Amino acid sequence: MNKNTKLIFNKALLEAAIKINVSAAINEDLKNIDKTSNILPTKTIGVAKIQVKQAAILCGSPWVNYCFNQIDKNIKIIWHFKEGAKIKNGSEICTISGNYNRILMGERIAINFLQTLSGTASTSSLMNLKIKRYKAKLFDTRKTIPGLRVAQKYAVQVGGAFNQRFGLYDKVLIKENHIKSIGSVFQILNIAKKKYSLKNIQIEVENLKEFKEAIDLGATNILLDNFSLKDLTKAVQINKKKAVLEASGDIGINNIIDFAKTKVDRISVGALTKNIKAVDFSMSIRVK
């Protein structure tokens, strides 16, 4: 995690998500039995180490802690790195001690969370560093793995980027298909203004004509979807800091700097949570 990045997350929301995520994962993998571990002696004590096989940003330790706590409250975990730390290839990130069989029961569940959330945090960190010198801030989207939205959005913050709305329930985002049902940006914004304050509405536009309509109606938050770099630059010039401008659509690690150079305020990237490249972790265990 960037030292200057303050993690802003609702503690109750996060704790609830961890419980739901881990409970579902335990039920998915174990139900109430690990038939393979049942072959082994039941009272053996083990010491395990989780190692990372590539450089990454560590994310997911609260899920690991809760996972082993639910399997066996006597299992102890010592973390050698803090959440959000940069970890090098080959680093041993934690030591786990307790009942040998019980540790094995949680191995895959714990690592699944680590590899997924560290992947999201690492990608967020990498892309965020690319545009560090520019005005634009990096944001996520709702393109998340079903059931892991809170977890992934937490990982985005751990990686130093920012969250959009969490769901349809918390903010208004008028997109192309909403506009089609009414007819135009002009018409739908006039309707939306009667129900919500403009400061609570973000509207997606697909060309400069729609953008100008939104600006003329006083829109304060405009999503410029699949705009060319040329048109993004024009939009910034027309805007004159009236609205927050966000670029989206086919933005990745190889072109994000080009979008930042247009001087938009925000860049949203679905790939942060959609195109997950898992970080490689492994566990080794020995009899104590």
Q: What is the 8-class DSSP label of residue 39?
A: G
The structure tokens listed for 37 are 């571990």
Q: Work out how many domains the chain is built from and give that number.
A: 2
User: 112 and 155: one domain?
Assistant: no
User: 251 and 283: one domain?
Assistant: no
User: 139 and 254: one domain?
Assistant: yes
User: 204 and 262: one domain?
Assistant: yes
**What local confidence, expressed as pLDDT, does residue 40 receive?**
82
User: 139 and 262: one domain?
Assistant: yes
The CA distance from 178 to 175, in Å, is: 5
User: 142 and 223: one domain?
Assistant: yes
**What CATH number did the domain enclosing 89 receive?**
3.90.1170.20
pLDDT along the chain (288 residues), means of 10: 61 94 95 81 93 98 98 97 97 97 95 98 97 96 95 96 90 91 92 91 96 95 97 96 95 96 97 94 96
CA angle, residues 198, 202, 205, in degrees to nearest 5: 120
- Is 3 domain-assigned? no
Instruction: Give the burial class of 267: count Cβ atoms within 10 A of its Cβ; 0-12 exposed, 13-18 middle, 19 or more buried.
Output: buried
pTM of the predicted protein model? 0.93
Q: Which domain holds residue 26?
A: 11-128+277-287
**What local confidence, expressed as pLDDT, does residue 1 receive?**
55
**What local confidence, expressed as pLDDT, does residue 63 receive?**
98
User: 149 and 82: one domain?
Assistant: no
User: 69 and 193: one domain?
Assistant: no
**What CATH number did the domain enclosing 246 receive?**
3.20.20.70
**What local confidence, expressed as pLDDT, does residue 10 receive?**
85
User: 264 and 283: one domain?
Assistant: no
**What local confidence, expressed as pLDDT, does residue 4 receive?**
45
User: 53 and 122: one domain?
Assistant: yes
- Is 6 domain-assigned? no
- Is 58 domain-assigned? yes
Phi, psi of 145, rounded to the nearest 5 degrees: -70, 130
**What local confidence, expressed as pLDDT, does residue 49 receive?**
98
- Is 225 domain-assigned? yes
